[in-house]
């Protein structure tokens, strides 16, 4: 990554980026982008700076990134994505959520990979679901980076959908510049080595350094035990439960006094294998199923 631009030069590049955006990208049609995003770009210096920094202060490259990002935001209606516009079962699955912090104080964005199996029929809703979490965080903690944790415990090759992984990578590479602190892949099965080599190629050289592979023992290099679940050697009693959404105040875990005890707990171990079998079966037969605590992608 290039050295930070001197303040005066940075201000000039921000103004140049805005002017060229207006002259080159807005001239054809004012309907091209969501007007709210255009307004934000015209008002928020930090947003323009984020694109410039991520593209090494090359205005041409930053403009390409802004164009792709704003087109995506309009296509998916990102400004109007809310809890009510995402299918409830996605929240209930516990496959994706924000909780805890790494050792540098960055919020943790968890992906429980064993709950993910490819399913083309709900891919658009899933993409909106990821955008929901990122938008929600961006509004609550503007300018603060995230650490993504791919928890691959008990996962297999059927849990990886490379197109969707590419979408997640693009969220940080294009749609939310400067958002990614690091991406930690925990307990990756050896059979997925080839797949993650492809992911590294998508990240590009400026983001490769952010990709960290860790065993269960090594993950404590990045995250203290207090924010790691017991199956990763931690002591965090947090248990995802919906509703409500976890970490609504972004400071206090939902279950700060210990694990949530619910009627589901008695059934959870008994139903775990059944749920996993359902996931595998639905993937192999290409039948869309909605397991109680699983998310097909």
| pLDDT for position 248 | 52
Q: What counts of helices (H) and strands (E) characterise the chain?
A: 10, 7
| pLDDT for position 285 | 32
- 95 three-class SS: coil
Tokens describing residue 112 = 């429980």
| pLDDT for position 81 | 92
CA–CA gap between residue 221 and residue 186 (Å, rounded): 12
Of residues 120, 34, 115, the one with CA closest to residue 70: 34
Tokens describing residue 241 = 């439960």
The residues, ordered by sequence, that sit 6+ positions from 288 with a Cβ below 8 Å of its Cβ are 119, 121, 122, 282, 296
Cβ atoms of 41 and 48 within 8 Å: the answer is yes
Phi, psi of 214 (to 5 degrees): -140, 140
| pLDDT for position 199 | 77
pLDDT above 90 covers a percentage of the chain that reads: 45
| pLDDT for position 179 | 87
| pLDDT for position 195 | 77
CA–CA gap between residue 170 and residue 121 (Å, rounded): 21
pTM of the model: 0.77
| pLDDT for position 11 | 92
pLDDT tens, position by position, 256-286? 433 333 333 334 334 433 433 333 333 333 3
| pLDDT for position 55 | 87
| pLDDT for position 23 | 92
Tokens describing residue 230 = 């017991």
| pLDDT for position 77 | 93
Query: Could you read off the pLDDT tens digit of each residue along the chain, which spans 297 residues?
Result: 445 667 778 899 999 999 999 999 987 666 889 999 999 999 999 999 989 988 889 999 999 999 999 999 999 999 999 999 999 999 999 999 999 999 999 999 999 999 887 777 888 888 999 999 999 998 888 878 999 999 999 888 778 777 888 888 889 888 988 888 999 999 988 877 777 788 777 776 666 778 899 999 999 999 999 999 999 999 999 999 888 887 654 543 333 433 333 333 334 334 433 433 333 333 333 333 333 344 444
Tokens describing residue 89 = 């079962």
């Amino acid at each position: 990554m290039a050295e930070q631009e001197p303040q005066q030069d940075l201000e000039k590049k921000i103004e140049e980026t805005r002017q060229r955006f207006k002259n080159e990208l807005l001239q054809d049609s004012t309907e091209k982008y969501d007007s709210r995003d255009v307004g934000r770009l015209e008002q928020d210096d930090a947003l323009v700076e984020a694109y410039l920094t991520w593209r090494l202060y090359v205005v041409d490259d930053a403009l390409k990134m802004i164009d792709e990002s704003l087109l995506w935001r309009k296509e998916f209606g990102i400004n109007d994505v809310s809890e009510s516009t995402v299918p409830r079962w996605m929240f209930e699955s516990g496959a994706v959520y924000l909780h805890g912090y790494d050792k540098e104080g960055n919020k943790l964005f968890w992906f429980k990979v064993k709950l993910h199996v490819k399913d083309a029929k709900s891919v658009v809703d899933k993409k909106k679901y990821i955008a929901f979490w990122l938008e929600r965080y961006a509004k609550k903690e503007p300018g603060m980076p995230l650490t993504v944790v791919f928890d691959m415990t008990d996962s297999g090759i059927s849990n990886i959908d490379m197109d969707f992984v590419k979408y997640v990578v693009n969220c940080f590479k294009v749609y939310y510049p400067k958002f990614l602190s690091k991406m930690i892949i925990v307990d990756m099965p050896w059979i997925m080595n080839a797949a993650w080599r492809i992911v590294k190629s998508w990240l590009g050289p400026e983001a490769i350094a952010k990709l960290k592979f860790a065993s269960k023992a090594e993950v404590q290099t990045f995250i203290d035990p207090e924010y790691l679940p017991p199956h990763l050697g931690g002591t965090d009693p947090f248990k995802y439960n919906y509703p409500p959404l976890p970490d609504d105040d972004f400071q206090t875990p939902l279950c700060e006094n210990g694990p949530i005890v619910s009627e589901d707990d008695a059934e959870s171990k008994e139903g775990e294998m059944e749920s996993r079998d359902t996931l595998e079966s639905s993937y192999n037969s290409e039948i869309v199923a909605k397991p109680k605590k699983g998310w097909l992608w």
